[in-house]
Amino acid sequence: MVKPTIKEKLKPLKISCTSTDCDNGLHCFKQNRKKKLADQFGQCRSCGADLVDWNRIQKRNLSDVQYTFEALKKELFRHHMWHVEISQKAVNHARRKGKVKMRVAAEKQISKSVGLAEPPYDGRQTPRETSDKATAIHYAQHATACCCRKCMEYWHNIPPGRELTKKEISYFTDLVMLFIEERLPFLKEHGETVPRIQHKTRNSFSEEKQGDKNLNDN
């Protein structure tokens, strides 16, 4: 009998925006239909825990952002996005841009992905960490709940069906940049030269294998 390898045993956890691990203090505050009907806003959809001062968060006050971040981390999905390893490709992308250009890119991304009154594909427009397209900005959007209008509605009290104001776009850009500065503290202001990741082609693998064979033959 063939024993499973460590890689096979440790399959990645499938974490969605409604996942919970209440025994470990990680919840989901997105209302399900039952809680909406019962008008139980802000409670964990699985265990009913009421842990967040929503009025405080929904003032969107940057001087109180530490509390906002602490509250976000009480939700399993946000906690995951705050702590998951950022891909090397996303790190390199951020290093090339630097903080100044990352802020410009973040503002554009927020305006484009969630700034419209009715963003297309809402709930799916921001790549997850499992996507090759994900940048550090996308990680930050998920971690700070500005990844889609549904998350922005229940976390930040942004009503659906209208465009974001310039002030709101600026606030969410600030949240994204604070996440990036915390997770990637080594970023320079104006970027740096970073070699692109070279992926081996099928031919290069064949040549490498043939080279190993020749060495063994000799």
Give the model confidence (pLDDT) of 146-158 as tens digits. Answer: 999 999 999 999 9
Per-residue pLDDT reduced to its tens digit, 27-70: 999 987 665 555 668 999 999 999 999 999 999 999 999 999 99
Look up residue 161 and give its DSSP letter: T
CB 146 within 8 A of CB 122: no
Which of these, 89, 101, 97, lies nearest to 139 by C-alpha position? 89
CB 45 within 8 A of CB 32: yes
Residue-level pLDDT at 51: 96
Task: Write down the pTM of the prediction.
Answer: 0.84
Q: What is the dihedral of CA 87, 178, 191, 115, to 10 degrees?
A: 80
Which residues of the chain are modeled with pLDDT < 50?
A: 4, 6-11, 204-218
